[in-house]
Structure formats: C-alpha cells, structure tokens
Chain A
C-alpha cells in the first residue's frame, strides 16, 4: 500500500479516520491520542488535508490495532456532538437498519 503521506488526499469538511478492529472486526475510530475507540464521540476531528493525511498515516501504521482505515466525513454540531456524514457511516455507527432475528 502506498503510504497515505504520498497520496493525494482532499477533504471537503470535518472528517475522521475509521477502520475495523483487527481481533473482532468492530467499527472503531482513530482518537487524538493515537488509539482506537468504538465511540464516534472519541474520534479525532481533522479539518484540512494535511491533518487528515497525518491522522490516516498514524492509523495505517497501527495495522495490529485495526484494518482498512479510511477518511470519512462527519458533521460536528454547535454542541460538539459528532454525527456521521453519510448513510454508510450512519449504518456503521448505529448498526443495521433492520431488526436482527431474535436472539435465543
């Protein structure tokens, strides 16, 4: 994989880096203190392409922690609450939009 530092990265608005945790596959978000969290609220927000590049590069380097990291758009409310920026990320955050079969 080409290092993200060499890739052209352009973001249109506030963004985060997300991936799936290696050992169990759950959705995780890259945090400001170089870790991963299952909560979108903990995600580090980047606001320009250079910041995005750096955050993605850190995430890619931590391949034992999580796999397939990429930059995704978010919306940040006036109250600082972070919301997913598109349907795909909404579904990744909130889970499937259908009812799962009853667990027995």
Chain B
C-alpha cells in the first residue's frame, strides 16, 4: 500500500471544495455548460447516454480494503448499487447525478481517492502491472516509478495542456501485464549490465482510430534520468504535436509521421539540454517514495500446506486454482485473480455487496489489499496458500469464483451503445452471448488461453485491435455491424489483429466466433499451441474460409 502525504491530501480536499462551488454555479446557471465542461472532465465526470458517468482513478491499480468499501458506499448511495472496472485501472459509476457529485467526491477524498488525471488532454494516471511488488522475478516494484511520474506530472503545466491525452504504462517483469506497447510511452524496467536500474523506453503506441504498436526509442535510460527523458519526449511532442486536428494529435501519429529515427534524434537533442538539470532524480527521492510503499509482514509458510493438498481432490477447486492462482514472490503465498466475468454478466461490473464482501476477504486473507488489472478483473495480491480453499469457498458464494481467468469467457468489453454516447453498436450483450456459448468449462479449458476484446466504436476502449479475437462495432444503414479481427495480442509480443472479412450482424457474431474457434481446434498442431500462435503460423485465410464458406 502507499501512504499519501499531507500535501496530497490537502490538494485532494481543495479540489473537492472547488468542484462543489463549480457545481453550484453550474446548477444556478452562473456557469454555462461550455464553461463547465472542462471543469467536470477534470474531475472525471462525463456525459453518457442516460446520465452522467463518474470515473475514479485507482493509481497503478492498488486499492486498500477501506477504499473499496468507500467505492461500494458511493455505488450504493449515489448510484445504482454497482460500479464498472475499466481497462485503465479506473472504476466508473454510470448513473450519478451532477448534484450528488461533490458529496461523492468528498466521501472518496476521505479515503484518499480522487478523479484527477482520468480525463482531459493531460497526463493520465500512470498504469502498471497489477501484480507489481508481488510477481516473482520482478526486477523492482514498478509502482515506485509510477508514483514518481505521478508526483511530477500532476498539475504540472507542461503536462496539463497537451495536444491530447497522454498515457504511460510501466512493467518490471518479462511478461508484460501492463500492455506497455499500446501506450503513448511504455516503460520496461530493466537492469543494465552494471546492475543499474533503468528503463527501455517505447513510444508511440496506441489504439483508437489509427492503431500503432509502440517502438523502442531508447534501449536504456538510467533511472535517475527518467523524468528528464520523459520531459524531452513531451517537449518534442508539444512542439510538433498537431493541436489543429484531434485525430492526428496523439504522439503515435507524430512518431509515425516523423519516423522513429528522426523522432529519437529530436528527443535526444532535447534531452541533452535537460538531463543534468533539476530534473535529475536524487536517490533520496526514490528512497522516500520506496519507503511509503508498505509491504505486508509475510510469515514463513509452507509452499504446499495440507489444506491445499486436501483441496486438490476437489475438481471445482482445482479448476479455479489452475487459472486464478498465480505464483507469488514469496513461496508460501499466491496472487489470486478474481474474475469479474461471470457467465452471462457484463464484464467488469461489481455490485456494492460484492465490493464490501471483497473488502472483508481482503482484510481476512490479503493484508487488506486488492489490485485492479487492465483485463477488468480484480486480484488479491498476498494470499497465504493455506487459505486458498477457504477463500475459494467464500468467493464462490459471492459469484466471484468463475474459473475462467485468461480463458475465452474472460472477455474485455467497453460499455458500448448501452451506455456510451460515442458508440455505434452494443458491446456488452455480445460479450454476454459469447460467455453463454462457451460456458462449459471443459470446452473453455480445451480451447485454452484466448482473449476476446470488444469495442463499440473506433475509440477502442475495449482494446479490440489487440484481442486474440477482436470485435469492433460499427453502424451500417442504421444497423449494428461487427468487424472481426484475429491474431492481435497485447503482451510483450504485441501485434494488431487482421480483419477476417466483411462485417457481420449482431445476431451472427457469436456464430462466427464459434466457427473461428472450431477452425482453430481443427488446425492447431498440438493442444499447447495457443490460438494466436496458430493464427500466426497459418494467417487469416483458413479462418476466413471457414467463416465465410457458409455465409
């Protein structure tokens, strides 16, 4: 957990009373919507189809049990009793009244939660691996560096008025769980040959209308130079970035237009002016941040306790354990992913009751700490292995033990046309139907790891380009039509998917996905060959044939 200091708390409280005043002036008509819009967006308040939507940041995905309880309280008191966890380590409330928002913000501020950096053309909250600090083999806790960047960029003028929004993600493991290749800046924490901590820096990744996979701009930037290097990137971006055309204003477009070589040269030049400035980071600053991350007092516990050995005889427990439980850096403990993807339900939603109960389970089994990942699932990061069977029983009672993490029913979907004012087509009902089609656990298990990502429009909030199967909703003559891509991936081998052919209608999507999956099962060389690897080996053709032969 991270202990915020007094300055942060004062800042958050000031923002709440400022916003209260702004809302009052808006409701009285003193402020017009044109004047108010910027202000509400800065506080995470969007307008959706049916109501305002309130987006709350969960910096680097770390959440304390008392914070989750307060989110449950906000869901219950000001919303309709549930919240939606997003791919950006945020939670969104869909039904909140403008007149209630200042109170909701104030309630959240009590537990150190705020909505800064969730919207607007600024530096968004820095995301990182949801297993930060607990993953085995991790070089260092990447959140220390996320926090450094957060402190430096919050409210910093240079970062508050960018040509467009700006997103950074950090990972410190070989396996990239933070999707750093689809962020404006992606940082991979590494050690140099001399053993110094630093970063491989990637730039220009992003999804949306014009998707790009980020490119490495520098193989090693020393930790102490991280801020000056990022600043150099931002200066080049600010200098060239197109403010005249919002579709072209993202850094990915600039990197693409200038070319990575020219872009790197410009950054390098800028950096030479900056690197020895006050932006150089003292070791004490890092040590100070490091000291605020509080790690649990782990006990020395057996790797294979009796409780676990006995529970292994129970097939349902084993099914859940196999895909929800991951190794922890401390062998007596595990990281437990909690699927927010029950069969037939909207991906990423949790009710206030579930949130409260999860907060209690976090207190009981995970030192009061939870994590939010970009796959729209939650995790308990420090569960003693002996507690796994009891935790599983408790989760099952809450409907939170669906054994589908990383399987075909663990779908990422944006809100789509059920909620979103920018949508062309619905996403959630497509996801629901797909989970019903593949509800059989044996079948899902046979298929193995397969990520389906769904977006309701080209903004790509559901990351469809990097789904193993990607589904994009578009509108054609007033009808919902879905374009389907295969072969995308979001991890360290990130790639954009390829279109398999003409779009299909709402009612046909699940059939098409079934066809694709059947083709895969017939085509894979061995059961361990993942869907994406089969697509990589064979290309889209055989899948296309299968899907369109009968359509």
Contact = CB atoms under 8 A, between A and B. Distances in A.
Contacts of B346: 98
Contact of B49 (A64, A91, A103): A91
9 contacts: A20-B50, A23-B97, A24-B99, A25-B51, A64-B29, A96-B419, A101-B82, A101-B349, A104-B81
Interface of B: 26-29, 32-34, 47-52, 76, 80-82, 95-99, 345-346, 349, 351-353, 417-419, 423, 426, 428-429, 432, 478, 480
Interface residues of A, number: 26
A68 B478 contact: no
Interface of A: 1, 20, 22-27, 63-64, 67-68, 86-88, 91-92, 95-98, 100-104
Contacts, number: 83
A23 B480 CA distance: 32
Contacts of A23: 27, 97-99
Given A24-B99, A87-B480, A97-B429, A67 B47 contact: yes
B399 to A, nearest CB: 10
Contact of B50 (A63, A68, A95): A95
B99 A96 contact: no
A20 to B, nearest CB: 6
A94 B419 CA distance: 12
Contact of B351 (A24, A64, A95, A101): A101
Given A22-B26, A98-B346, A101-B81, A88 B417 contact: yes
Give the secondary structure class of A's interface.
loop
A63 B99 contact: no
Nearest to A1: B34
Given A67-B47, A86-B478, A96 B418 contact: yes
Given A1-B34, A91-B49, A103 B429 contact: no
Nearest to B432: A98
A33 to B, nearest CB: 20
Given A23-B99, A63-B32, A104-B353, 14 more contacts: A24-B52, A25-B50, A25-B52, A25-B97, A63-B33, A87-B480, A88-B417, A88-B423, A96-B50, A96-B428, A97-B426, A98-B346, A101-B349, A104-B352
Nearest to B28: A64
Nearest to B82: A101
Contacts of A86: 478
A65 to B, nearest CB: 9
